[in-house]
Structures are given as C-alpha cells and as structure tokens.
Amino acid sequence: MATTTRRKPAKKGARASSGAAPRRKLAEYRRKRDFTRTAEPSGNERNATPARSRAAKPLRFVIQKHDASSLHYDLRLELDGVMKSWAVPRGPSLDPSVKRLAMEVEDHPVSYNTFEGTIPQGQYGGGTVMLWDRGTYRPADGKIQSLRDGLKDGHLSFIVRGKRIRGEFTLIRTTHGGTKPRWLLFKRTDRYADPATDVTAEETTSVETGRTMAEIARDDGETAPAAERARKRPAGRQSAAKRSIGKRPIGKRRATK
C-alpha cells in the first residue's frame, strides 16, 4: 500500500516574502505621508530590489540637503532592505575635531536614494530636497553584523565612498529615549580628513543634476528623468560629475575664508 508523507505546517511567518521585513520597517514612514500629494517614493515600487538579492552587493548611502522647517542634511545608510536615517542639522564635516548632532528618524525606502524635488507644504517634511552626495559604504571592520550591533549598542563606524565625502565616520548615540534618539556624527582621522575644508559651504549643487536648491524649488516638485533634466539644463552648465573631473582630490581642497 502506498503511503503518503504529510508535510508539517509551516511556522507562522516562515514563508513570508523577503520584502516583508522592510515593509514593516517602513510603516512609520508611510503613515506620515500622503502619496497622492507628495512625489516621494512609497517603497512599494515594483522595481524595488529585494533585500536578499542585494546581499552580496555594496551597501549604498545618500546625503540629501533638505530645506524643510529648518535647513538640514539627511544621512541615509542602506541596511537590511531600508535606509537607516538621521537628520544632521549642520551636515557632515571633514574635520575630526568637529562633532555634529544627528537626530535618528524613521527608516526610508531604498528608492528614496533617487528622490530630488519639492515636498508640498503641509506634508511631512514639506520643502526642497537635493541629492547632495551619494555612493557606497561598508562597515569599518568589514562585518555587516557589526552595523546591526552598532545600531543596537549606539556605536556605529563605517567607511563611505561618495563624490564629496570619503573615509571613515562614526555615529555615537548620546540619548536613547524619546521619539528621536540623538547621535553625534564625526569624521575619523584618515587621508580624507581635512580640517581646513567646510564641505557643505563649498558644495552647494546637486550631484545628480547640478541644480541649486533655488532651481530645484522652481521645478515645483517635478522629478523628471535625468536625461530630460539634462536637456533642460542651460547651455554651458556642466553636470556635477563632469565638474569633478580634474578637481583637487578630496581632502586637498583649499581652505575657505
């Protein structure tokens, strides 16, 4: 007599899709926004890359200059399918002696890495957003688990490779309670450190489109494809990438007066 093998029922959550965890992490992000009014990505895009398929790829980071209720810079580090995010009021510094306040905020979708435009007034974070810098990063010790542990323990060291900032940075949490835990962001001493440079004062245009904050604001929040934006760019203006060719290496800029 033939016998059949009865399969044990899967444990609850065992067959959840690889995108389930990121979706849960983005609940607060989505709750704060009305995507019928803002052009910000919801994180539900069909072309969003599952966290599992990105496991062997370099982690991405982005810094967005954001003129909302106050001007600040948003640091975002990719981890486990979302962008861990901090609002840095004065932006990053290349001077290891300078420690900048960084307020932890809600996780953002990875698709936010390409967002540049205007968030309508009345919406959460209403104001102009610029892609100020982006690239890849890695944990200082090379172990992804150390990033997770660092977020939990309040001490995170990582090495970035961007267009405007490079080298090792550290985030240290100073307060854990409240709605927005406070951290300190500072540059580690390495060949990319440059106490004489005020990088946020020197670099005032988008790394993607070459636009200023005022030019982005005049676009009324439209986020046209990069090729279309390039066609609209006035004659004679170079892209941020072209302007960087032949530029002094990072860490060798002339001191600002």
- Could you tell me if residue 164 is inside a domain? yes
- Could you tell me if residue 200 is inside a domain? yes
- Could you tell me if residue 28 is inside a domain? no
d(CA 202, CA 234): 22
| Structure confidence at residue 41 (pLDDT) | 95
| Structure confidence at residue 56 (pLDDT) | 64
- Could you tell me if residue 14 is inside a domain? no
d(CA 41, CA 127): 15
b/e burial code for range 56-78 (CB count within 10 A of at least 16 → b): eeebbbbbbbbbbeeebbbbbbb
d(CA 240, CA 206): 7
- Could you tell me if residue 26 is inside a domain? no
| Structure confidence at residue 21 (pLDDT) | 77
| Structure confidence at residue 67 (pLDDT) | 96
- Could you tell me if residue 38 is inside a domain? no
| Structure confidence at residue 255 (pLDDT) | 45
148 in Cβ contact with 80 (< 8 Å): yes
pLDDT, mean of each 10-residue run, the chain (257 residues): 48 46 89 95 69 70 96 98 98 98 97 96 95 98 97 97 98 84 97 97 97 91 43 45 42 45
| Structure confidence at residue 179 (pLDDT) | 73
| Structure confidence at residue 244 (pLDDT) | 42
- Could you tell me if residue 202 is inside a domain? yes
**What residues make up the domain containing 151?**
60-233
Q: Provide the token pair at 180.
A: 């927005």
